[in-house]
Amino acid sequence: MSTFQAPKGTYDLIPPDSATYLAVREAIAAPLKNSGYGYIETPGFENIELFSRGVGESTDIVSKEMYAFETKGGDKLALRPEGTASVLRAALEANLHKAGNLPVKLWYSGSYYRYERPQKGRYRHFSQVGAEAIGAEDPALDAELIILADQAYRSLGLRQFRILLNSLGDKECRPVYRDALQGFLRALDVDEDTRRRIEINPLRILDDKRDAVQKQLVGAPMLRDYLCDACKAYHEEVRELLTAAGVTYEDDEKLVRGLDYYTRTTFEFVHDGLGSQSAVGGGGRYDGLSEMIGGPALPSVGWALGVDRTVLALEAEGIELELPATTSVFAVPLGEEARRVLFALVTELRRAGVAADFSYGGKGLKGAMKSANRSGARYTLVAGERDLAEGVVQLKDMESGEQTPVALVDAVNAIRERLA
């Protein structure tokens, strides 16, 4: 009988690689925890309407990539393809916006699902860390989130990423631009699917990656020429705050992002070392999303950064993160009495905050020392009957090979001092 394999387009995270993913998640979360963002967790699946209304019927995510299913009870659900709609739904359901302290600042980490053609950096199951600031319309909030993402990437040692920035206007000025753009796009020679999109969400055509389409977009009306004074002033303040904070960005007039809910500020983090899947994260302001999903007017802004893509960016720059050793001390007992004594000592070390492991399975000295080597431990504790009779354990430095007897009663303190 053949063994099962992970479904197509998914992957398992296993040691030692998983330690890098954990470190990336922690590095992205650290600046958020330091800036008033509280942790939120939402279900892996939601009512399908939440995404079709919030993310948008015309998006690839909803029309082609969503894992949708019907339960035995007849509920129509979907695995979450992105995080924002779920987090906003949860905040509204819990009435967090009524607690009187706006914006509600939340961060999250989890798995998301899209039925895509699997390729490097694009999977059907992927991991993101995201942040949302709900209930305030303030350019400083948009700037804060971009600065925090920049800070997270820099703390990992990344340098070769770029921040693309644009404004999509608001409900006052975007309809005027939309009409002008539709007038231009209707004259293009495009396929039926694209023609349908021109009628539903023409801005997405600007984001079409096909050369044949991009060539025809030369001379298309530009959104910046249609922004109202309020949107221009808002965008200018975001730009000024980023510049004052020393964050470098590039204006990109074609940046629209793949979700329908964005208004005003949109941004993307791209890394040129990743080939065609260059986006490592992105986000923007979504002032109308709350009303779309049945809530009150709650102007909000947020982003999501891809953990998988960030790990690929680290590889592209040749960055190896300094990860703490999973095991500092490995215990090797020789005989039954030593097994009992060293197991108790390992338990004591762990309680004292020392990463310790034990030779399980009754291996001989040679096999146990091989396990100690593989564990990456800095020190090995070895004890036999003679050592115990003398009240000592042998402490072996795995780097120098030097071995010294240490009094059993002082072992925990002696090991902590050496590790410090």
Q: What is the CATH number of the domain that holds 141?
A: 3.30.930.10
Residues 287 and 344 reside in one and the same domain: no
295, 316, 337: which is the final residue of a domain? 316
**Number of domains present in the structure of the chain:** 2
In a domain, 187, yes or no: no
Please report whether residue 205 resides in a domain: no
Looking at residue 57, its pLDDT comes to 65
Residue with tokens 């999501």: 304
- pLDDT surpassing 90 at residue 269: yes
Please check whether residues 150 and 112 belong to one and the same domain: yes
Tokens standing for residue 70: 């019907």
Is there a single domain that holds both residue 267 and residue 343?
A: no
Q: What is the pLDDT of residues 393-406, one digit of tens each?
A: 999 999 999 999 99
**Is it the case that residue 260 has pLDDT exceeding 80?**
no
Mean pLDDT of 30-52: 95
Please indicate, yes or no, if residue 199 is contained in any of the structural domains: no
Among 141-150, 319-328, 349-358, where is mean pLDDT lowest? 319-328
State residue 82's pLDDT score. Answer: 92
Q: Which of 313, 219, 414, 355 is nearest to 20 (CA)?
A: 313
| Range(s) of the domain holding residue 337 | 329-419
Same domain (yes/no): 311, 365: no
Identify whether residues 294 and 376 lie together within a single domain: no
Neighbours of 31 (CB within 10 A): 20
Instruction: Round the average pLDDT of the chain to a whole number and report it.
Output: 91
Taking 70 as the threshold, does the pLDDT of residue 4 lie above it?
yes
Identify whether 208 is part of a domain: no
Instruction: Using DSSP bridges, classify how beta strands 68-70 and 161-167 pair: parallel, antiparallel or unpaired.
Output: unpaired
Position 193 pLDDT exceeds 70: yes
- What region, left, alpha or beta, does residue 275 occupy, with left being phi > 0 and alpha being psi -120 to 50 degrees? left
Q: What gap in Å lies between CA 293 and CA 409, rounded to an integer? A: 64
Give the model's confidence band at 96: pLDDT under 50 very low, under 70 low, under 90 confident, else very high: very high
The Cα–Cα gap between 290 and 286 comes to 8
Q: Say if CB 320 and CB 311 are below 8 A apart.
A: no
Answer yes or no: do 107 and 162 share one domain.
yes
CA dist 306 and 128 (Å) reads 5
* 117/264 same-domain check: yes
Amino acid 1 reads: M
| Portion of the chain with pLDDT greater than 90, in percent | 70
pLDDT tens, residue by residue, 127-137 = 999 999 999 99
**Predicted confidence band at 105 (pLDDT cuts at 50, 70, 90)?**
very high
- Does 98 lie in the same domain as 50? yes
> What backbone torsions phi and psi does residue 272 show, to the nearest 5 degrees?
-70, -10
Phi, psi of 414 (to 5 degrees): -60, -40
pTM of this prediction?
0.89
- The count of other CB atoms within 10 Å of the CB of residue 127 is 21
Please tell me which residue, 53 or 315, carries the higher pLDDT value: 315
Same domain, 412 and 347: yes
Query: Read out DSSP for 270-290?
Result: EEGGGTT--EEEEEEE-TTHH
Single-letter amino acid, residue 256: V
Q: What is the mean pLDDT of residues 168-176?
A: 87
- Of 316, 342, 372, the residue at which a domain comes to its end is 316
Range of 135-149, 264-278, 366-380 with top mean pLDDT: 135-149
CATH of the domain at 398: 3.40.50.800
pLDDT of residue 371: 93
3-class state of residue 384 by DSSP = coil
Q: Is residue 197 part of a domain?
A: no
Q: Are 150 and 288 members of one domain?
A: yes
Token digits of residue 128: 């993101």
pLDDT digits (tens, 9 = 90+) for 151-167: 999 999 999 999 999 99
Q: Are residues 267 and 399 in the same domain?
A: no
CB hemisphere CA count around 65 (13 angstroms): 23
More confident: 25 or 9: 25
Confidence of residue 37 (pLDDT cuts 50, 70, 90): very high
The CA distance from 248 to 115, in Å, is 34
Residue where a domain terminates, one of 316, 349, 372: 316
Distance CA 62, CA 84 (A): 14
Examine residue 49 and state whether it is found in any structural domain, yes or no: yes
Does pLDDT of 351 surpass 80? Answer: yes
CA distance 143 to 242: 6
Cα R_g (the chain), whole angstroms: 27
* Domain-embedded: residue 365: yes
Assess whether 311 and 240 both reside in one domain: yes
Task: Give residue 74's pLDDT band: very low, low, confident or very high (50, 70, 90).
Answer: very high
Residue 237 pLDDT > 90: yes
Query: Residue 81 falls within a domain, yes or no?
Result: yes
pLDDT value of residue 277: 73
